[in-house]
Structure 1
């Protein structure tokens, strides 16, 4: 029975996080991992080439070595090498994502998206992030913003599986439903 990409990512990221935490190197390794993620996002064909069958192992290693050499954390180097040797290099992006999820969970960091009818100023965005963080007991909220004029006004906040809908459009819909009963 083979493991799903998510199962592999969770196992490897948890193991990596635990060893880095015991060695007090989580932040430096996280920087390395995010730099690798940036490279993978900038060149999606790299992951395909490393995990595909069109190149032989020596060609794949020549692509992978500069990536490994750019990393300062020996643990991250070992992770990349191990994923490559176990033919799981295509799981590297998922491992990095799960590592970041674990990091955020342990440090009280929440990612959220705010949808508004008009763009928010930096001050408004910061105030919204602070207020949302207090409401959900998060130490830090990483808030991205998006505009959608269809909501008329107010704000919709999405974080993980939770949605706080304070839009005018939703309020109007609620009033309509009450009037039509």
Structure 2
């Protein structure tokens, strides 16, 4: 029975995270996988090369060996296994799953904050601390974005939480009440 991609990614991610934790390599592996993800993003043709039917096994293997040579044993084993089982195209998603599991372990939340004007560092810190208390996180990593349509206030979005404290939202709410 062939497994769907989501199942494969989840299983590999969990297995990798479990091994890293068992070997006390969790943060080191996180840094290495983040670097590998950057390599994949900067070189989108790398996975295409490794998947290509027109390129021979030895050529693919020699390129993979260059990457493996610079990797830790855990990452090297992951890369080799994915290559051997023709699952190398899932590498980026497996890295994302590892990062998600690590964030859950560390109680880190990623959130997108949208404001009408740019926030300074002190405002971001205060907002992150407040949001961390609301969602029960130890750390909040904010990705800020400026949108003049917000008019004023803040819109915060994370995986399962949306807080819209924008002036635009409040005006729309008043308008709905007046039209009733």
**TM beyond 0.5:** yes
Shift of 1:2: 2.2
CA distance in 1, matches of 2:40, 2:6: 18
Return the offset for 1:9: 1.0
Structure 1 SS opposite 2:118: coil
Residue in 1 aligned with 2:146? 147
Question: Once the 2 structures are TM-superposed, how far is the Cα of residue 3 of structure 1 from its aligned partner?
Answer: 2.0
| Post-superposition offset of 1:99 | 0.3
How far residue 52 of structure 1 moved from its aligned partner, in angstroms, is 2.2
Aligned partners of 1:17 and 1:26 also within 8 Å: yes
Moved over 6 A (4+): none
Shift of 1:35: 0.9
Q: Which residue number corresponds to residue 67 of structure 1? A: 67
| SS of residue paired to 2:86 | coil
Asked if the contact 1:5/1:94 (under 8 Å) is kept, the reply is no
TM-score, normalised with respect to structure 2:
0.97
Are 2:56 and 1:56 equivalent residues in the alignment?
yes
1:92 — aligned with what?
A: 91
Aligned-residue offset at 1:6: 1.9
| 52-61 or 132-141, larger mean C-alpha shift | 52-61
Q: Please list the CA deviations of residues 58-104 of structure 1 after superposition, one character each: whole Å capped at 9, or x if unmatched.
A: 11112212211121x21111011000000000000000000000000
**Aligned residue number for residue 46 of structure 1:** 46
Q: Is the 8 A contact 1:118 1:149 kept in 2?
A: yes
Aligned-partner SS, 2:27: helix
Q: Secondary structure at the match of 1:64?
A: helix
Report the equivalent of 1:7. 7
1:163 aligns with 2:162: yes
Gaps of 5+ in 2: none
Q: Give the secondary structure class of the aligned counterpart of 1:78.
A: helix
Question: Does the CA-based 8 Å contact 1:36-1:67 persist in structure 2?
Answer: no
2:134 matched residue in structure 1:
135
Q: CA deviation at 1:123?
A: 1.2
- The separation in 2 between residues aligned to 1:21 and 1:152, in whole angstroms, is 45
Tell me how far apart the structure 2 counterparts of residues 40 and 10 of structure 1 sit (CA, whole Å): 20
Aligned residues: 180
Is it true that 1:35 corresponds to 2:35 in the alignment? yes
Cα distance in 1 for partners of 2:143, 2:172 equals 26
SS in 1 for 2:142: strand
Structure 1, unaligned runs of 5 or more: none
